[in-house]
Amino acid sequence: MKVLLSVVAVGLIGLVAPSAQAADGAALAQKGGCVACHQVDKKFVGPGFKEIAAKYKGKGAEAALVKKVKEGGSGAWGAMPMPPNAGKLSDDEFKSVVDWILSQ
């Protein structure tokens, strides 16, 4: 029983860290109102977060994406513009939510 419990405990420690981060990203996307236009798995008003990750992951695009999310813009995915989101989240939160999007 003791052994089983410690196995479970170790398993939980391994699980808690990444899922806490994922919850933060999702919570920030809620808080910033991103989910009004974006879903994780599919295109909605704006591109799905997984599509965005597939396009930019590993390409050092993070800073440019943070700027675009704050200032808004169009042309990367179609004619539909993303309005500016500046003020909805702090700079750190924009960076975290973009990191989270790119990790999808």
Site residues (vs ligand HEC, CB under 6 A): 32-34, 36-38, 45-47, 52, 65, 68-69, 73-78, 80, 82-83, 85, 88-89, 97-98, 101
Q: Which two structure tokens, joined as six digits, stand for 94?
A: 């924009």
Q: Which is nearer to ligand HEC, 6 or 59 (CB)?
A: 59
Query: Three-state SS for 42?
Result: coil
Q: Which is nearer to ligand HEC, 26 or 37 (CB)?
A: 37
Q: Are 32 and 89 in contact (CB under 8 A)?
A: yes
Q: Which is nearer to ligand HEC, 5 or 49 (CB)?
A: 49
Distance in angstroms (rounded) separating the CA atoms of residues 53 and 6: 36
